[in-house]
Chain A
Amino acid sequence: MQSVVSPTSPPKRSFLYDPNVRGIFYQVLLICVVGYLFYMAATNVVENLQRAKIASGFGFLDVTAGFDISQTLVPFSAAGSTYRDAFIVGLLNTLIVSAIGIVFATILGFTIGIARLSTNWMVAKVAMVYVELLRNIPLLLQLLFWYIAVLGPLPQPRDSFQLGAGFFLNSRGLFMPRPVYGADIWAVVAAFAIGIVGTVLFRRYAKRQQEATGRQYRVGFVSLALIIGLPVATWIVLALASVNPVSFDMPQKGTFNLRGGMQILPEFVALLVGLVTYTAAFIAEVVRAGILAVSKGQTEAANSLGLKSGQTLRLVVIPQAMRVIIPPLTSQYLNLTKNSSLAVAVGYPDLVQVFMGTVLNQTGQAVEVVMITMGVYLTISLVTSFVMNIYNRRVAIVER
């Protein structure tokens, strides 16, 4: 880019050697190739669909579904519900098994991850065997095992296992009392909300007091009393005043089946147990790596300050480990959500089984169904990673 060209300057190079020109050339080539492939695919799809006399467009969502779903969180019936309702039912089923799975997998995973680092040799080894065994066997096989080999041999409804307190276990699943909420349930809910707000306020007060005076409050006990004690107390008061806010619909033994109560499908149990135990093994490794990433000096410094081992873990190690743990932990949560699509192998009616299975087979509208299903999973993934990026930026160590 010389403004003055001296007579001895080298001959002008061909513009073909200009990296910008080449870059544009390659990208135009890429657009042409990809565009051509998409164009070919699109025309073929149109032609194939016309030949097979399959409709296109999203009109099918309003057509009556005509099939039943075994677990529905919202009202659904074969005669009155549309494919859109089926989609919502499947989506909710996916979300509920993922949400419950994430909670239990986190608890189990943290327990096993900490157990792997235990000074107790036996505990550490058992945790290691658990992790190695579960991680190296395909999830599909584990689900089939739970579904067919463990839940399969359960007895017929009339020979149900009685677990006490209205819980029954048989080949149709787990039956439990269903809570029926009375009109006064709002009082308990309000007490719960007050408990949470009170806890937050008290924690803030306790922290300020400690920083100012060094006096410590028993924050844990107070929180527990506020969050759990307050609603329970409200409930008892209401019950004593004989306006019971919650009653239970107990499952009753009939001749062939149990009546009433709440039924949890064996498919759901198998899927949940499989997902939780499998993901927990991965979470355990994430937790272990996170705790090991906190340098030993931190623990020693905490000990020399006189913190007890529990306090060391809670106040020094875990907060620093979480910085390392959270990003891979999130990706494990996403994996669990995506793996819940294996429900199709055990017949749990999740999004893939209902929508990509039954609806796709009934309507034949593969393009639309696949697009919607993949869009749901993509949205979940992208939203999660977006939130994670924000979180990461907040907790990242600011280097000087």
Chain B
Amino acid sequence: MNTAVDVSRFVRTEKIEALPPPKLARGPIAWVRENLFSSPINTALTLAVAYLLFVLIPPILDFLFFNAVWTGTDRAACRAETAGHPVGACWAFVVSKINFFTYGSYPAEERWRVNIFFVLLAIGVAWLLWLRAPRRDLGAVYFFWLFPIASYVLLTGGNVDIGLRAWLLFATIGVVFMAAIGFAAFMLKTSVRSAVLVAAGIVAVLGVTLALLDWDWGLEPVPTSRWGGILVTLLVATVGIVFSLPFGILLALGRRSKLPILRMASVIFIEFVRGVPLITVLIMANTMLPLFLPPDVTVDRLTRPLVGVAFFASAYMAEVVRGGLQAMPKGQYEGAMSLGLNYPQMMVLIILPQALRIVIPGIVNTFIGLFKDTSLVSVVGIFDLVKTIEASRIDPNWAAPTISYTGYAFAALFYFIFCWGMSRYSLGVERRLAAGHKR
């Protein structure tokens, strides 16, 4: 240590006054200065955007709320001459048509069945999407088996009436199937008993499904030509998701398989479907599906696009699931194999539960796309929400200048609420799943 006095060094002897706090580092004015007027360019941008909003927002608000007509029974209410002011959205039109927009031409006294379908759908979706819901495995059984059967019975009226001969055929095939499985187990020197039990389980599930569809529940049959509106929109989306998840998983597993032919078949299917627009798939389903089937089989007008949508969604879902499978560390596969699990056990018990969990956001995003794409079925003549609006807006009873805008605004609102809600959900899940990986 240097004890000599160092004259070259300056040591302050008294404390200097603290500087005053910087003006406006916080508070609304500082915020505005920081975020809106921090530089000349920013100021110009802010003013330009503010002017844009000033031009755009008031007319939109006027249209949607202030000049809107809320009550009325026909076109007179929504014409400027009778309303006495410039007319914005004619919500009275939506109110009077809301049943048509929701159910299409579904018979009025049977609409409670559609309402139950909506409730069942909501239960299934909530059960699967709520990450802390109890027994989500039962939820899957409900959503992918019970719910489709119940919906089919409710909406069409069930009572397929396949006849005694079909039942006998089914029983024969079932017995043969169980015998074949038992024989295979015997050849492989594994437990014949458990193999036959599994086979019997499969036969029983199919049998119960058939019986539920076959049973006469006393419901009035409603032909699909009378379905329409939101019912069909949600139905197409539901069919898409119910079919695309299982098929998508199978296709993804096929694409990741070591068996060359299986892998090639999966790749060809996936790339083919992803390479063409949905509308061509729908037109193909519409025109070619009847050609593919025997001449005596007729395909329902609504079923055709449903098949197309199911195919289309499966291919996209397969790519999402494949992402999840590829994200699994190799150790998970190796660990499962070293425990002596076979391929199905490894997939069902170890890999898929983890892989599907991390791709929930991807699945939801695919579903958002699918939900928006359901509007395309209107192009092939199916009465979904867009088509009901297209049909209603040219209704002479409601011939008024703003009817088209109102109809589109309503449809846009409907789609926006669903899609935006789902995208928020997927963001939330993403954040939650990322919580463990944040550093």
Instruction: Tell me the A residues contacting B by CB distance below 8 Å.
Output: 14, 16-17, 23, 26-27, 30-31, 34, 40-41, 44-45, 47-49, 51, 118-123, 126, 132-133, 135-141, 144-145, 148-149, 152, 338-339, 341-342, 344-345, 352, 356, 360, 366-367, 370, 373-374, 377-378, 380-382
Counting chain A CB atoms within 10 Å of each CB, the highest count among B52, B259, B291 belongs to B291
Q: Is B334 an interface residue (CB 8 A)?
A: no
- Within the complex, the shortest CB–CB distance from A328 to chain B, in Å, comes to 13
Q: Give the residue name and chain of the B residue nearest to A345 (CB).
A: B379
Closest CB in chain B relative to A145 CB, distance in Å:
5
* Closest-CB distance, A395 to chain B (whole angstroms): 21
Residues of the B chain whose Cβ atoms lie less than 8 Å from the Cβ of A360: 283, 287
Which residues from A are CB-within-8-Å of B38? 119-120
Question: Would you call B301 an interface residue if the criterion is a C-beta within 8 Å of the partner chain's C-beta atoms?
Answer: no
With the chains together, A47 CA to B295 CA distance in Å? 8
- CB pair A126–B53 under 8 Å, yes or no, is yes
Chain A residues near B411: list those with CB within 8 A: 141
Q: List 16 A-B contacts (CB under 8 A).
A: A23-B258, A23-B259, A34-B265, A44-B295, A47-B295, A118-B45, A122-B50, A126-B49, A132-B420, A138-B373, A141-B375, A145-B408, A148-B404, A352-B277, A356-B280, A378-B275
Is A26's CB under 8 angstroms from B295's CB? no
Q: Which chain A residues lie closer than 8 Å to B262 at the CB level?
A: 26-27, 30
CB pair A16–B187 under 8 Å, yes or no, is yes
Interface residue? B386 (CB, 8 A): yes
Give how many B residues have a beta carbon under 8 Å from the other chain's beta carbons.
Answer: 57
Q: When the two chains form the complex, which single residue of A14, A141, A338, A378 contacts B188, counting CB atoms closer than 8 Å?
A: A14
B:241-287 near A, CB below 8 Å: 258-262, 265, 271-272, 274-280, 283-284, 287
The reply to whether B408 and A141 form a contact with Cβ atoms under 8 Å apart is yes
Whether the Cβ atoms of A138 and B49 lie closer than 8 Å is no
| Chain A nearest Cβ from B58, distance in angstroms | 16
B397 at the interface (CB under 8 A from A): no
Contact B35 A44 (CB under 8 A): no
Which of these, A14, A45, A137, contacts B292 with CB under 8 Å?
A: A45
Taking chain B's interface residues, is the majority helix, strand, or loop, or is none over half, making it mixed? helix
A366 with B287: CB separation less than 8 A: yes
Q: Tell me whether A341 and B280 are in contact (CB under 8 A).
A: yes
**Residue of B261, B271, B274, B279 with highest tally of chain A CB at under 10 A:** B279
Residue B412, interface by CB 8 Å: yes
| Cα of A138 to Cα of B377 in the assembled complex, Å | 12
Partner pick for B276 among A45, A51, A374, CB 8 A cutoff: A374
The complex places the Cα of A382 from the Cα of B276 at a distance, in Å, of 10
Contact flags (1/0) for B389-407 with A, using CB distance below 8 Å? 0100000000000001100
Is there a chain A Cβ closer than 8 Å to B293's Cβ?
A: yes
**Assembly CA distance A14 to B42 (angstroms):** 77
A31 vs B259: C-alpha distance when bound (angstroms): 12
CA distance A133 to B294 in the complex (A): 46
CB distance from A290 to the nearest CB of B (A): 18
Kindly identify which residue among B36, B189, B259, B375 contacts A138, using a CB–CB cutoff of 8 Å: B375
Chain B proximity of A370: nearest CB distance (Å): 5
- Shortest Cβ gap from A340 to chain B (Å): 8
The reply to whether B261 and A30 contact each other, CB–CB distance below 8 Å, is: yes
Complex alpha-carbon distance, A374 and B276, angstroms: 6
Say how far B78's CB is from chain A's closest CB, in angstroms. 15
Q: Which of A27, A45, A145 contacts B291 (CB 8 A)?
A: A45
In angstroms, Cα B274 to Cα A347, docked, is 24
Q: Are A44 and B277 in contact (CB under 8 A)?
A: no
A26 CB, min distance to chain B CBs, angstroms: 6
Q: Are A342 and B376 in contact (CB under 8 A)?
A: yes
The CA-CA distance from A378 to B272 in the complex, in Å, is 7
10 additional A-B pairs beyond A14-B188, A44-B292, A377-B277, beta carbons within 8 Å, are: A16-B187, A40-B292, A45-B292, A47-B294, A123-B49, A136-B419, A138-B415, A140-B376, A149-B408, A370-B283
Of the residues A45, A140, A145, contact of B379 by C-beta under 8 Å: A140
Evaluate whether A137 and B415 lie within 8 angstroms (CB atoms) in the complex, with A338-B277, A352-B283, A370-B280 already known: yes
A115 and B44 CA atoms in complex are apart in Å by 14
Of residues A119, A137, A366, A367, which shows the largest number of chain B Cβ atoms within 10 Å of its Cβ?
A137
Which residues of A lie under 8 Å from residue B423 when comparing CB positions? 135-136
**Separation of A44 and B296 alpha carbons in the complex (Å):** 10
Give Cα A149–Cα B35 distance, bound, in whole angstroms: 37
